[in-house]
Amino acid sequence: MNGTERKNIAAGISVDIVLKQDQRSGKLTRGIVKEILTKSPNHPHGIKVRLEDGQVGRVKNII
């Protein structure tokens, strides 16, 4: 599944996100969703989330 639709993402699931500083390289960071930050039902670049370790980025893959 891709991370562009909010309905596919919930707290507690494992995801790959791209952090703001990694957007150019496309480096992914894996973690567990703590909080969904995007309010709209979808976003073309991925739904923004906060991971349990505090990192914030856009969801690219749902594990």
CATH of the domain at 17: 2.30.30
pLDDT of residue 33: 98
Domain span at residue 14 reads 6-62
- Is residue 2 over pLDDT 90? no
Q: Is residue 34 part of a domain?
A: yes
Q: What is the 3-state secondary structure (H, E, C) of 10-58?
A: CCCCEEEEEEHHHCCCCCEEEEEEEEECCCCCECCCCCEEEECCCCEEE
Q: Is residue 1 part of a domain?
A: no
Provide the domain count of the chain: 1
Query: Please, are residues 36 and 9 in contact by the beta-carbon 8 Å criterion?
Result: yes
pLDDT of residue 49: 98
Query: Please, are residues 43 and 29 in contact by the beta-carbon 8 Å criterion?
Result: no
- The residue among 21, 62, 17, 22 whose CA lies nearest residue 37 is 17
Query: What is the pTM assigned to this prediction?
Result: 0.93
